[in-house]
């Protein structure tokens, strides 16, 4: 049966691939914020394949915008079966250079967004006693990264939220899991030179960086599964074992 799936941050990168890989057999709503052209292109590309998706703009760090987005989806489809909290931003700075504003931007976009979107979706998910929430963390949320303290902290926060919420929502038959990708081939890593990427590859046992589709495959598996909750699934080519 077709699931109603909301993917946040789907205009580009991993979220964009998740939409493309799930839309064939499901009802997929692709959230975006700034990249309107990419979101429209995603919808047009899918239309060419005779697949209809919804695109919907909302800054997921803003409660009112998320409330309005979720209400629109519930009015149209009556439910959300799967929430994929994927939206996120990176920040590359020496810890001593991080301003209060820098810190808040990362926490709001990466962590508060998960808090807000999950709460809004749960209003209709808990009464139905069925659902799946997948949060995109990062290898840096597990191990920590120099020059990315705010980012790593936000992604570690997602892991704490995932584990705690899985315990709270288990009795409501709602599973909550996190995926912790290693380095994945998206615009987020444009800050690294080719030489830096090559150096990273040397540290990865599988000797390559990951592709967005490798995250989508894990999401498909989590949608088929019924007994996994509170877990952090690392997809990183063995970079962190």
List active site positions.
Answer: 151
Closer residue to ligand NAP (CB): 124 or 240: 240
Residue 237 within binding range of ligand NAP, rule CB under 6 A: no
Is the backbone of residue 190 left (phi > 0), alpha (psi -120 to 50) or beta?
alpha
- Tell me the sheet residues that pair with 28: 5
Q: Which of 68-76, 81-89, 94-102, 194-202 is the region at the interface with ligand NAP (rule: CB under 6 A)? A: 81-89
Residue count at the site for ligand NAP (CB under 6 A)?
31
The binding track of 188-227 with respect to ligand NAP, each residue x by CB under 6 A or -, is xx--------------------------------------
Tell me which of 5, 32, 131, 239 binds ligand NAP, using CB under 6 A.
Answer: 32
Among 70, 181, 229, 237, binds ligand NAP (CB under 6 A): 181
Residues 81 and 131 sit within 8 Å (Cβ to Cβ): yes
Q: How far is the CB of 57 from ligand NAP (least distance, A)?
A: 8
In sequence order, the β-bridge partners of residue 136 are: 179
- From the list 7, 15, 18, 19, which residue makes contact with ligand NAP (rule: CB under 6 A)? 15
The candidate with the shortest Cα–Cα distance to 183, out of 167, 193, 197, is 197
What's the min distance (Å) between Cβ of 110 and ligand NAP? 6
How far apart are CB 88 and ligand NAP at their closest, in Å?
2
- Choose which of 26, 61, 216, 229 interacts with ligand NAP (CB under 6 A): 61
Contact assessment for residue 141 and residue 162, using Cβ atoms and an 8 Å cutoff? no
Task: Please pick, from the candidates 7, 9, 111, 150, the single residue that binds ligand NAP as defined by CB under 6 A.
Answer: 9
Strand partners, 46: none
The closest alpha carbon to 91, from 79, 78, 100, 103, belongs to 103
- Taking the complex as a whole, the smallest distance from the CB of residue 173 to ligand NAP amounts, in Å, to 26
Give the span between the Cα atoms of 82 and 99, in whole angstroms: 35
Q: Least distance from C-beta 171 to ligand NAP, angstroms?
A: 28
> Quick one: which of 5, 6, 7, 8 contacts ligand NAP (CB under 6 A)?
8
Angle between helical axes of 13-22 and 212-224 (0-180°, round to 10): 50
- Considering only residues 4, 5, 6, 14, which one is a binding residue for ligand NAP as defined by CB under 6 A? 14
By CB under 6 A, name the binding residues for ligand NAP. Answer: 8-15, 31-35, 59-61, 86-89, 109, 113, 136, 138, 181, 183-184, 186-189
């Amino acid at each position: 049966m077709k699931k109603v799936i909301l993917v946040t941050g789907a205009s580009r990168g991993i979220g964009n691939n998740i939409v493309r890989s799930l839309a064939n057999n499901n009802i997929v709503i692709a959230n975006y914020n700034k990249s309107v052209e990419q979101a429209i292109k995603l919808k047009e590309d899918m239309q060419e394949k005779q697949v209809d998706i919804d695109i919907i703009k909302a800054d997921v760090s803003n409660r009112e915008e998320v409330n309005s987005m979720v209400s629109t989806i519930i009015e149209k489809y009556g439910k959300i079966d799967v929430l994929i909290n994927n939206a996120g931003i990176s920040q590359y700075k020496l810890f001593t250079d991080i301003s209060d504003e820098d810190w808040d931007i990362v926490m709001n976009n990466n962590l508060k967004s998960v808090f807000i979107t999950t709460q809004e979706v749960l209003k209709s998910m808990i009464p139905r006693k069925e659902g799946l929430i997948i949060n995109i963390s990062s290898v840096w949320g597990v191990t920590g990264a120099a020059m990315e303290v705010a980012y790593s902290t936000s992604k570690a926060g997602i892991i704490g939220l995932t584990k705690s919420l899985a315990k709270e929502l288990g009795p409501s038959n709602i599973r909550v899991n996190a995926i912790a990708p290693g380095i994945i081939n998206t615009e987020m890593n444009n800050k690294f030179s080719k030489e830096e990427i090559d150096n990273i590859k040397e540290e990865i046992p599988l000797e390559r960086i990951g592709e967005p589709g490798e995250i989508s495959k894990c999401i498909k598996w989590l949608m088929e599964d019924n007994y996994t909750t509170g877990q952090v699934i690392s997809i990183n080519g063995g970079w962190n074992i």
